[in-house]
Amino acid sequence: MFDRRLLENFDWGLTIITFLIGIVGLGVLYSAVNAGDPGGAMHLFFQKQMIWITGSVVIVLLSLFIPYKLFDRGSFIAYLICVGLLIAVLIFGKYVAGSRRWLALGPFTMQPSELMKLSLIFVLASVYSGIISEYGLPFKYLIKPALLLFFPFLLIVLQPDLGTALLLLFIATSITLFVKVKKSVFFSCAVIAVAAIPLAWGFALKDYQKERVLTFLDPDRDPLGAGYHIIQSKIAIGSGMLSGKGFLKGTQNALAFLPEHHTDFILSVLAEEWGLLGCCVLLFLYFMLLLWGLNISYCCRDMFGSILAFGITIMIFWQIFINIGMVMGLLPVVGVPLPLISYGGSSVVTNMIGIGVLLNISMRRFVKV
């Protein structure tokens, strides 16, 4: 049943890159959670992260036995399940720090919005692979994908989790542009989007909502909240200078300064302790990972696999770009974790499954369709 050729074609390159990023991630997390208490016991967060990584490696290995073509047929069901989970989270979700994002499943809590990213990519790949055309898609073919994006987008905005919602929008838009739309469609959509912003600003939004959006765009408007995080993050990154202060030697990541230092702001710990050199190494590893993903998309023999590989690669790209841009004060502060490095079960599992799918596509690149 399991073709020996598949084993021969196993993508060792992608595995090694992922493994290296994972090692960097665990090292930084160790430093982040043991700050100020080196030599202390293994921190609970660190142990949990190890468990999640190990668990997702097992899931990935098992999933490799399933030919990815089956995901094509199952994608819509997975999508519906994820939408159901998003509705459930609004009703039963755990209320943490002003929003409902987590769903309790026995001893675990999960963030359905993370899984939603994957299932949206699957369902879009499935839809687009049937209609893709070299001349670009006309408007009527975009209605279905737009609806597929709209429902989860709305449900996630309601949580409220603007960061993940925007991420979903970016991923869907990227995939759509990748499969190509007609020029006229592209420009008219762009015009509508640009025109809609001032309209929404003028009529739909209340004053306090505007204030929230402005603070979101410009953290300095809230110097006691997001603005404070950003300045602390910038101090941490900048103070790393060329070669960093050394492993476990960071002073800025003490709890008092960065409340999210093991999750969304973990890059500032790496930058402080390993300096510009460390940051370059990480950027290089990420870049290799993305190139590898695009290459898998190219080598794949069928459209579903190509679009799927592209979608997963672009999902990882957007997370990297938004997270790093955010901690360096280039982009608004949104809760987007750094793939494979930030602490957090849902994020680890989602990204690992994504990599597993890439491996899956890659090892079947010579299989006749």
Partner 1 sequence: MKNPDREWLKKRLMNSTVIILASFSVLLLRFVYLQVVEGDEYRRLSENNCIRLQSIPASRGLIYDRNGTLLADNIPSFDLKIVLQDAKPVDETIQKLADFTSIPVEELMERVDSGKKVSIYKPLLLKRNITRDQLAVVEAHAFDLPGVKVDVELMRKYIYKKSAAHLIGYLGEINSQEIENNTYPDVKSGDSIGRYGAEKSFEDILRGKRGGRQIEVDASGSLVRVINTVNPLPGKNILLTIDSKLQQTIESIMEDKTGAVVAIDPSNGDVLAMVSVPSFDLNDFIGGISNDKWKSLISNPDKPIANKAIQGEYPPASTYKIVTAIAALEEGVVDIHTTHFCPGYYKYGNREYRCWKKSGHGRVNIVKALEKSCDVFFYRTGEAVGVDTLAKYAIGCGLGKVTNIELANERPGLIPTGAWKKKRFGTPWQGGETLSVAIGQGFNLTTPLQMAALLAAIGNNGTIYRPRILKSIQEYNEAIDIHKELKPEISGGLPASSQTLELVKEGLLNVVESEGGTARKIRIQGIDIAGKTGTAQVFTLKKSDRDSKRKFARHLRDHAWFVCYAPAQNPVIAVAIIIEHGEHGSTAAAPVASEVIRAWLEIKGMLPSIKK
For partner 1, the closer of residues 74 and 329 by Cβ is 329
Least Å distance, CB 199 to partner 1, is 29
Where do contacts with partner 1 occur on this chain (CB under 8 A)?
98, 131-135, 178, 180, 220, 222-224, 227-228, 231-232, 234-242, 251-252, 254-257, 271-272, 275-276, 279-280, 283, 286-287, 290-291, 294, 297-298, 303, 306, 310, 314, 317, 321, 324-325, 328, 330
Tokens at 282, concatenated: 């990480």
Tokens at 264, concatenated: 């969304």
Side chain identity, residue 226: A
Least Å distance, CB 180 to partner 1, is 7
- Match 């142990």 to its residue by tokens: 47
For partner 1, the closer of residues 87 and 281 by Cβ is 281
Least Å distance, CB 133 to partner 1, is 5
Planar angle of CA 326, 332, 333, nearest 5 degrees: 65
Q: How far apart are CA 88 and CA 111, in angstroms?
A: 11
For partner 1, the closer of residues 64 and 357 by Cβ is 357
For partner 1, the closer of residues 240 and 356 by Cβ is 240
Least Å distance, CB 243 to partner 1, is 10
Least Å distance, CB 225 to partner 1, is 9
Residues facing 105 on adjacent strands: 108
Least Å distance, CB 84 to partner 1, is 28
Q: How far apart are CA 334 and CA 169, in angstroms?
A: 14
- For residue 131, count CB atoms less than 10 angstroms from its CB and return exposed for 0-12, middle for 13-18, buried for 19 or more: middle
For partner 1, the closer of residues 66 and 301 by Cβ is 301
Least Å distance, CB 168 to partner 1, is 19
For partner 1, the closer of residues 11 and 222 by Cβ is 222
Residues facing 94 on adjacent strands: 102
* CB-based contact 333:216 (threshold 8 Å): yes
Q: How far apart are CA 157 and CA 162, in angstroms?
A: 5
Q: How far apart are CA 169 and CA 146, in angstroms?
A: 10
For partner 1, the closer of residues 38 and 223 by Cβ is 223
Least Å distance, CB 78 to partner 1, is 25
Tell me phi and psi for residue 100, to 5 degrees: -105, 105
For partner 1, the closer of residues 150 and 284 by Cβ is 284
Least Å distance, CB 358 to partner 1, is 14
* CB-based contact 115:81 (threshold 8 Å): no
Query: DSSP letters along 191-220, please?
Result: HHHHHHHHHIIIII--HHHHHHHHHHH-GG
Q: Is the peptide bond before 198 cis (omega within 30 degrees of 0)?
A: no
Least Å distance, CB 136 to partner 1, is 10
Q: With residue 295 as reference, give the H or E element that holds it.
A: helix 266-299
Region for 205 from its dihedrals, namely left if φ exceeds 0, alpha if ψ lies in -120 to 50, beta otherwise? beta
Pick the closest to residue 362 from 13, 2, 96, 3 (CA basis): 13
Q: How far apart are CA 250 and CA 253, in angstroms?
A: 6
